[in-house]
Chain A
Amino acid sequence: MCGTCGCGEPGGPASPIRAHAHEPSPAPGHEARRVEVETSLLAANEANARALRERLAGLGIEAVGLLGAPGCGKTSLLERTLEILAATDPDAPARVAVVEGDCATDHDARRIATRGARVAQIETGALCHLDAHLVGHALEKLDLDGVERVFVENVGNLVCPAPFSCGESRRALLVSTPEGDDKPEKYPAMVAAADCLVVTKTDLLPHLDFDVERCVERARRVRPGLPALAVSARSGAGMDEWLAWLAAGGRR
């Protein structure tokens, strides 16, 4: 653990990790004492997320988060969703706002904009996840008048977005079939943060050994009773179930 300074403290996995202490003892004449804190480090973001959720709820808007690995099909799912909505009501996409999070580029925002939704792109640079503060400011740039639903597409990442709520009422975790059906077990923090598991790219199943049932079962080992569905943005299979889950509203 102390490779940084070479003080060679052994730190087996069972022992608590201790960063080295170079000036650990109190200065003469000063008693060391304990100060209770008991405060969550995520409290600041939690407060921001709650405020954002309430602000949106006040406008009659539910925000849904999309989480998943890079390239798991988050933007494609949104594109297909907007396409289906537009087929029954050409004005429907205009009632959707999307916040896109990527480390760089506005590629995804451009894709969404061509489908008629209002969209704001957040380029996070080195930051590996969105948070409520970033999303709140991105939404300030959009006119939310007439908007009924906000989608927040997080940075493609199967670890870091988990603990940082972005003001969503519900979060969907996407796992694409080429990733393998063991991902929910390998990345349990993301499953724990999710309200629905969406297996994506099911059109590719014939070419892979991905087992949808096994994937769902593995996710439910982490989060019992987690709702799950399987879609292909390419073929449109399963999109009805996805739209039904969305329509079911802010129940947790």
Chain B
Amino acid sequence: MHEARLCLSLLDLAERHLERAGGERILAVRVEVGALSGVVPEALASAFPICAEATRARGAELRIERSAGRDLVLRDLEVC
């Protein structure tokens, strides 16, 4: 189950960018998941709310965009 582990790095990265932007809360996270990235979008989606519980992304929306390649990229955040 490496999606949970990836989810934690995703949230870690997101929180660092939230801080840098001087925001308080993460409302949404947009991630690109490539078909060849080895990541199952459904598994990422179900791990996300659980992993986010103890972070400033609690309750945030995870928007997954599928692409064809091997990319796994945190595109942007919606913060306030």
Contacts and interface: CB of A to CB of B under 8 A. Distances in A.
A38 interface: yes
B73 A38 contact: yes
Nearest to A37: B74
Interface residues of B, number: 48
Nearest to A159: B38
Contacts of A26: 25, 27, 80
A112 B77 CA distance: 48
B45 A19 contact: yes
B18 A128 contact: no
A33 B76 contact: no
Nearest to A162: B38
Interface string A235-248: 00000000000000
Interface string A1-29: 10011000000000011111111111100
Interface in A213-230: none
Contact size range, A: 35 or more
Contact of B78 (A16, A22, A32, A188): A32
B71 A24 contact: no
Contacts of B60: 19, 21, 24
Contacts of B24: 27, 30
- Chain A, interface SS category: loop
Given A126-B1, A163-B37, A37 B13 contact: yes
A41 B27 CA distance: 19
A19 B66 CA distance: 15
Nearest to A29: B80
Interface string B4-31: 0110011001100110010111011001
Given A5-B49, A16-B63, A21-B27, 5 more contacts: A19-B62, A20-B49, A33-B79, A34-B79, A38-B73
24 contacts: A16-B63, A17-B45, A19-B62, A21-B27, A24-B28, A27-B80, A30-B25, A33-B23, A34-B79, A35-B17, A35-B18, A35-B77, A35-B79, A37-B13, A38-B74, A41-B72, A162-B37, A163-B37, A163-B39, A189-B35, A189-B36, A189-B38, A193-B38, A193-B70
